[in-house]
Amino acid sequence: MTLLKRFFILTLALLLVLVPMTACSDEEGTQEEITVTVKVIHKDKSEKTFTIETTATTLLGALQQEGIVEGEDQTAGFYITAVDGETADWSVDQGWWCFTKGGAMMMTGAESTKIADGDCYEITYTIG
């Protein structure tokens, strides 16, 4: 066997080992670091904007990474009770946190909302 053939076979074998490994990392949801912006609008109408650099793939993951939200797991998913230190309590004033993207109410929860570089979200304390 010539040296060129041996090199070709070795290269091919190496590619067959490495290509499936890189495919698996994409399936696990890892991604490069991205930046998303989240504006929190509190009950008193004050605003605070967070710029989040993250490798998280969901909005909830990015918010939890920065400690911006608190909540609890429920059967319907993760229920966010507090944002930026402020708790919304339905039993007190029918308060809840409304999540929007570009001003439009999101149709998915934060835990299932996939994020991309440059995305901008708003979280607004809402009554009723």
pLDDT tens, 23-53? 333 444 556 999 999 999 999 999 999 999 9
Q: Running DSSP on this structure, what letter comes out for residue 54?
A: E
Confidence class for position 79, pLDDT limits 50, 70, 90: very high
What pLDDT was estimated at residue 34?
A: 97
**Considering Cα of 105, then 110, then 111, then 112, what sign does the dihedral take?**
positive
Is residue 20 within 8 A of residue 13, CB to CB? The reply is no
**Average pLDDT of the chain, as a whole number:** 84
User: How far apart (Å, rounded) are the C-alpha atoms in residues 80 and 53?
Assistant: 21
Q: Average of pLDDT values for 68-77?
A: 94
